[in-house]
Structure formats: structure tokens, C-alpha cells
Structure 1
Amino acid sequence: MSTNFLVVIPTRRRLATLRWALKTCLDQDYDNFQVAVLANACTETTAWLRELNHPRVSVMESKADLPMTDNWERIFGTPIAPDTYVFFLGDDDGLLPGALACADRLLRHYQTPILNWEKAEYAWPDIILSAYRNYASLRLGSGIEIRESEPFLSAAHRLRASYSEGPSIYSSFVRAELLQQIHDDADHCFSRPCSPDVFSSFALSSSVDHFVRCRFSPSVNGASGKSNGISYMHDFASSTFTSSPIHPAIVHAPSVLIADSDALLNARDALPNRFAKYHFDFAALLTALADDAQRIGNSERGVQLVAAIDEIARRNSLAGPPTRIAPPAENAAARDNGPRFGFVAKEGRLTIDLSRLTPLMSTMRARRSACSIH
């Protein structure tokens, strides 16, 4: 019997990218799935979805403007069959062709509650980081690995592993009964952290001994002009995340380390019995943030990180590492000047600029046509 999938797309006034995210779902060569769109205070999007009137697509409209975490919570108020596999898709992300059919075969073979993968990456043309526009990157891998949860969680507590190495709901098909169990045990846990997708990686891995991880990418992680994560990192003052509650042991700062730490600390509070064997290393967090600040240098973001280091050290009665911010000229080579294009054999990763690929393909087609004429 084929696997039943539910793709959940939370969205808030992003119809321009949502159209394409939804298209990647509806173009799947697989029949047993539904899409639930959590439309958060977006009248235009809701009207478009009603007009689309697709039998696979349901719309859960909120007229009130909800925080992202509260919007996510609404899916748990709907009846979902326990054996359904749930996946959250960002409204600027996408499923690759054949993703659901492939996942169905793997889930029936491995009989696992979690099928996880590393996402491919794509930067939309309107991303605020101009050097990354039209950037695409994917791992050219194959095969499956069985990943143990305990080493991942142990490394995460020491700041040696990112949430992306675990089963985030943005990069995993998860059996609905497991999601519901975590939600109930943690008393509506997904509304706690500022990044519920990051939280899910730690909460889910704490609930299973191991999970199945693909060495290839069934989905693409999109970064567009309205991406929450990008704005938090690079447009901190304007980010809506900075108004979200954060764990009292830390403070908001423009670093992915803060999002990881907030999610992990909240997971520990929500599910204390599952994390009792681990100790969160605040000193390692301070050192990692100091390394970030030194790499970024004397900029607004660097200054914000140094202030965060001092405050986190104070809140946890620790001596923060001495942090020297390099002047702009000194640290110019360390700044992020954009992606490195090409193939990295060690990582098995290919990174390309799609804006250059399109004219190249046109040129190749023109030359092929010319050759066929002669």
C-alpha cells in the first residue's frame, strides 16, 4: 500500500514564490498526497488558492496576523491519520521531481518514522544578498545512511553539529503520530522557540534512536527576498524574529548559532527527560560567537555579536572570551564575498550560477542547431 503524505506550507503574503512552491508539489508523479496551506493574514493568497480550487489543496486561513510559531501550531488542530507522513515546505522552497514517489519506496522499505535528507539550495533573484542571486547548490550523492540520534545530539550540545544535520521537519518526512506525540508531551512545543523548524530537528531526534538519512536531495531550500532566516542574519534591525520570545539564557543576535541554541535550549525545557544525559556548553557557544565576530569584523553585525557575547556571559555567570573585532581592511579576505562556484569533490557538492547557465545553454543549443544544418 502506498504511503500517504501531507505537505504543509505555512505562508504569509508571499504569493509570488508560493505559486512555484505549490507547483512543485502538484507536478509530482505520485497520487497519494495532500497539501495544506496555512495562509497567515494574506487575503490575496487565500483568494488565489480559492480560485485555484485544486482537489489536493486545502486552505487554512487566519484573518489575524499570527506569529510564525502560532501559524505552525494550527496544523495540530486538524485531524491527520497517524500513519500519514508530514513534511513542512517553505513558501519559497520546492520539491524536486519524483520526490514523493522516491520517499514512498524508501519508507516502505525501511519502515522508519523519519526519512531525512540534506536539502539542495537556491537563492531567488530578489534575495537581499546580491552576490548569491540565482545561486544553486546540491550534493551529487546517492545512497542511504542510518544516523544515530545520540551522537548528533551530543555534538549539538557542544556546538559541534548544526540542526541541519538532524531531522528538521523542513527536511524530513515524519510519521504524524510521532509529531503529535512530541506536540502533546511538550505542551504545544512548536510555539516556544523563534525557529520551530530548528526546534523540530532536536525534538524529533530525541524521540528516536536513529533515523534514515538520504545522501541526495528530494527538496530545495529557497532563500528569497522575504526569507526570515536571511533577514535575521543580514538585516537584523528589520527582522520580525527579533520580536519573538527567546530562551532566557541567551539573547537575539545575527547568528545561526543563536537560532540553534534557542531551539535546543527550548527542546531541553519542553522535553527534559529526553535530554537529561546532555549538558549544554555555554562556553562553547561564546567561543563560537567570538569566532563569528572576528570573522565578520568591524561592522554593525560584528558589534551586535560582541554585545550578545557579553550579555550571554553575564546571564550564565561565565567569563566571555576576549573578542577583538578586526578593522575592515584587516578582515576583508574573511568577509563573505559570495559563493564559490564549481564542484567540491570532498563534499560531493556542485554550486552554479543559474543566471550564467541559461545563456550558456542557449549558446550550446544554437551551436548544435548550426552544426545540424551543415
Structure 2
Amino acid sequence: MDNVKFTIVIPTRNRSETLKYCLMTCINQNYNNYEIIVSDNCSSDNTKEVVKSLNCNKIRYYKTKEVLPMTKNYQFALEKVKGEYVIYLGDDDGLHFHALDLLNEVINLVRVPVINWRLDHYEWPGYLLRNFENLIKISNVSSSTKSGFFSGKEKIKKVLKFEEKFNVLPMLYMNSAIKVDFIKQIEEKNVGIFDSCEPDVYSGLVTAYYVKEYFYLNFPVSIGGSSKNSTGMTQITALKENKITHEFNELNKKFGLEFKPTFYKITFSETSLVDDAIRYAFNKFLPQNDEFIVDYKALIVNLVNDVKQCCEYYYEETEAVFKEILEYIYETVKDKFSEEITLFFKNEILKKLKPLKKYDFDKRFLPHFDKDYLILDGNKFKVADIYGAAQISDMVLNFDERVNEYKGKLKKVTRCMNEISKYKNIGICGANCHGKILVKLLKNINDVEEHNIYFFDSDKNKWGTKIEQYTINNLELIKKMNIDKVVICSYTYQEEIYETLKDLIDDSRIMKLYERDEEFYFDILV
């Protein structure tokens, strides 16, 4: 297939029982121009037979000649990609059926190399935390974080300070579609997209650092699955090394990938995994300066919380282990950090630490809404896998109708931007979020240097101040300036502004974003 828009990459090893349903979500897309790569890391189960049984000509199956570390298998698959954009999924994850269709419309509008979104979640039957088994968490599209453009470097700073979790980063794993040419540009700097023991976290740091801005889509696209054999979930819930973590660690050692977080003996903490990826990033590309600083107090707080939570899963056997680990953390803090941080650990963490409490595996989480998710009990809908979770999500939230509404608004914004971008000298009337978004979209449709942009507002308190790098001017100045088209960036006051502008310039030079009584469609961005 030539000119493929999307490649979905699914690295897998000996997990055919979940891979089948992951693939089913991928081959049932409401879109056609894509391929699927299954990168089989030398499995000994029936992975190849499962792939073949689906009888889908979009799937290309590759098997490594030997067992590789996760990072190397990810890279092995990347070299086979033909698509313009690539998405990586775990073999227990899935896509919503509208995913590629919606992403295609978004890319046509925003034209950036990285599209990112918040994950939905599904906990497979057999998941370690059995009170979460078969729960489906679907993102609330009415949440406070709207779609829009984000600075990658600003996101990194928040992750380094542990103000936000690593999964807000635009990772080449589950939560982003990344342009392949952009990845190649990074690789030309002698920086690999997966070069650490944690390819998901590390790829998010790499992408965020090298992309100027990425687009965050506040709409469900993919479902992150957690199953009993998930490597990531096993890593952060297994107090002792097991078969999965043993193989993961030994393969990394064999291929020279050293696990080297600050507290290297603690391998079962999400914070340790993030710390390891951060240290690799500092070694490879991230400058060690005043711009990018790790908040080690916050790191230690998160680490202790991780350890405590994991110990509570195995309460009967871990009270002594917990004390032992705390002593190790204390000794490491004394050895590696300042007296201030040592005192912080003693006074703010150890002295205030509550005793271990046995985790209640029988406390079932009931279906409910919260500010971020709708949480459903898959058992009530006879769901047993991620394909079923995708089907129920589609049915309950009526995604067909919601996606069509969203796409309709995207197309209206796209038409507006294509019209505006025809002009050299552009006036933007309304120094607000509308105006900011217009400038960002213009940057991506055409080089912003191709346009002369002028902001105007009727509020005299704004005159002389700036929005982005542009000075806000008095509306009266419009009649003295050689402006090709003045765009009214207001929904509520559009007609009022239009009447004012008609007294200043010819009607043919004025552009409204909305027809009379038309719905507010820029709400997908502002």
C-alpha cells in the first residue's frame, strides 16, 4: 500500500490471548488508509497463528530472530513502518473504532508532527488488583483540559517536578500519533526515540523536548489495557522479581541497557522507572541546567508512596520489608543529597508516615462519574476483553454521533483557516483565546512569516499590551492600515463588532467566523 497515513505497531511476546482482541479493535476502524505491524519478539506460543486467523491484509507480521529487550523490539518494528504517522499499542491495549478517522481530521487541521490524547483504561480479567477487574474508564470530554497546543518543554518541566505524571507526555506508546519524518529528524541528531529501559516514558521525554508544540486532543482515541501479564503493571506491583520482571531485567542487561535510577534497588516503583528514564534523557539529550531541574523532594515523596502501596498489596509478609526499604532510602538520601533533603526525609516523610494498611482486594469500585472519567463495570455488559470494552464504550457514549459532531466542527474550523491563510495582511479583531488559536493554526498551515498579523480590540485597557508576540491595537487604526482581511474572533459579540467595523472599512474586508445563530464550533479548541 502506497502513501499510507497511519501505521499501528503492536510489539508482542507470548501474549496471543490478549493480542487477538487488541488486533480486533485495530482492524475494525472506521477508516481505511492504514497498516498494522505485529512485531513478534520471538514468541513460543501461537502468536503467528492468531494473527493469521484474523485474515486481514492490513496486518504485516514480523518475528525477531532472537528474544530482544522491549526497547530493541520497539526499534525493530519502527524500521518496518510505511505510514506517515505511527501509533504504538501494547498487546493488551486497543483503539476506539473511530480513532484513525478522527485523528485524520485533526491532522488535516492542526498539521503538527505530534498528536497526543488522554488514555481510556480497561483492566482485564485476572488483573492483580482483582477489585479493579473488568472496569472500563472512559475519558470525560467535558473535563477542564481542552484540546489545544502545548509546549513540550513545559510539560517536561512539570514531569521533572512531579507536578504531573509521566503519562501526560506525548509518548510513542498508547497516547500519541507521531509523524515518522519527525522521528527521523530526531534520529539524525544521534538520539534514539526508545533509548532506555523504559521506552514509553523515554520516548515521551524525547518527543516533548524536540517538538516545539504538540496538539492535545480532548477526545477518547485509545484504551490502555492492564492484564495479568502486562510488563509495566507487573513492574510496579511485584514486590519480588517474578518470571516477567526477571526476563525483562535480564534481557536489558544482556543488551547493555542498565537500570540506573537514583534508588536503583527499588525496581517495583513507577517513580523509579520514571527516574531511570529521566537519567537516560539527561545523559542523551536533555541539558542539565536551570531550565530542567528534578525536584528530588517530590521524587522521594512519590517513591515512598509507591513502596508503601506495593507493600500493602502483600501486607502479611511486608512489614519488616517496608522498614528495610525505608532504611535503604534514608541511607541513599544521606549519601547522595544535601542535609536539607535528608532533614526533609526525616521530618516530613518518616515522622508523618502512616502505618501500613492491608489492601482490600474485595472492595469493588462501583460504576460512577468523576471529573475525568465515566467508570463502568464490564461484568454488567458481559465484557471479557478489550474489544468488548471498545464496543461497550461506543454504545454507551454513542461515539458515532459524538465523533460526527466533533468532525463537523473540525471541518468548519479547517474551512475558516484555509480561507484566512489566503491573505498576506491579516487583522484579528478580539484579543482572546479565539485569536491565540487562529495564530497557532496559521503557523502550522503556512509559515507564520508569510503573514503580517495585527491584533485589535475595543477594550482600551488592552491597547499596547501583547498577545503572543503581537501588540494589541485600537480598532480605529484599522482604517489607516493596509489589511487584506479582518477576522472577527468573537462568538458572543460578533454582530456588535461587525457593525463597528463596517464604519471603519469596506464590508468585503471583514470576515465573520459564524453565520447568524450558528453553533459555537471553536469550543473544540478554546
In which range does the TM-score fall when normalised by the shorter chain? Answer: 0.7 to 0.9
> Are 1:174 and 2:178 an aligned pair?
yes
The structure-2 alpha-carbon separation of the partners of 1:242 and 1:79, relative to structure 1 and needing over 3 Å to count, comes to closer
CA distance in 1, matches of 2:230, 2:218: 26
CA distance in 2, matches of 1:172, 1:45: 26
Per the alignment, residue 317 of structure 1 pairs with 337
> Are 1:249 and 2:266 an aligned pair?
no
AA in 2 matched with 1:63: K
AA in 2 matched with 1:196: P
Per the alignment, residue 46 of structure 1 pairs with 48
Per the alignment, residue 363 of structure 1 pairs with none
Match of 1:343 among 360, 363, 368: 368
> Are 1:288 and 2:291 an aligned pair?
no
CA distance in 1, matches of 2:307, 2:261: 22
Percentage of pairs with the same residue: 23
Alignment of 1:201-240 (within 5 A): 201-236=204-239, 237-238=241-242, 239-240=245-246
CA distance in 2, matches of 1:260, 1:234: 15
1:83-141 CA distance string (max 9 Å, x none):
x1000011001000111000000001111111111111001102122111111111120
Q: CA deviation at 1:312?
A: 4.5
User: What secondary structure sits across from 1:272 in the alignment?
Assistant: coil
Per the alignment, residue 5 of structure 1 pairs with 6
User: What secondary structure sits across from 1:37 in the alignment?
Assistant: strand
Matched-pair contact (CA < 8 Å) for 1:6–1:33: yes
CA distance in 1, matches of 2:327, 2:178: 38
AA in 2 matched with 1:269: N
CA distance in 1, matches of 2:90, 2:209: 24
The structure-2 alpha-carbon separation of the partners of 1:152 and 1:61, relative to structure 1 and needing over 3 Å to count, comes to same
Match of 1:188 among 184, 192, 202: 192
CA distance in 1, matches of 2:263, 2:110: 39
Q: CA deviation at 1:257?
A: 1.2
AA in 1 matched with 2:88: F
Q: CA deviation at 1:270?
A: 1.3
Per the alignment, residue 380 of structure 2 pairs with 356
The structure-2 alpha-carbon separation of the partners of 1:335 and 1:206, relative to structure 1 and needing over 3 Å to count, comes to farther
User: What secondary structure sits across from 2:194 in the alignment?
Assistant: helix
The structure-2 alpha-carbon separation of the partners of 1:293 and 1:77, relative to structure 1 and needing over 3 Å to count, comes to closer
CA distance in 2, matches of 1:310, 1:242: 25
Matched-pair contact (CA < 8 Å) for 1:3–1:108: no
Superposition RMSD on alpha carbons, in Å?
A: 2.9
Per the alignment, residue 477 of structure 2 pairs with none
1:156-211 CA distance string (max 9 Å, x none):
1111111111211121000001122333424435132x210111111111112221
User: What secondary structure sits across from 2:279 in the alignment?
Assistant: helix
CA distance in 1, matches of 2:78, 2:16: 24
Q: CA deviation at 1:242?
A: 4.5
Q: CA deviation at 1:307?
A: 5.4
Q: CA deviation at 1:337?
A: 6.8
Matched-pair contact (CA < 8 Å) for 1:343–1:350: yes
* Number of equivalences: 352
CA distance in 1, matches of 2:64, 2:190: 24
Matched-pair contact (CA < 8 Å) for 2:367–2:377: no
User: What TM-score results when the alignment is normalised by the length of structure 2?
Assistant: 0.61
CA distance in 1, matches of 2:289, 2:107: 27
The structure-2 alpha-carbon separation of the partners of 1:132 and 1:46, relative to structure 1 and needing over 3 Å to count, comes to same
1:14-59 CA distance string (max 9 Å, x none):
0011011111111112111001111011142124434555321111
Q: CA deviation at 1:308?
A: 5.6
- Gaps of at least 5 residues in structure 1 are 360-374
Structure 1 range deviating more: 31-40 or 133-142: 133-142
CA distance in 2, matches of 1:211, 1:65: 34
- Gaps of at least 5 residues in structure 2 are 253-257, 384-526
Structure with larger RCO (C-alpha < 8 A, sep 6+):
1
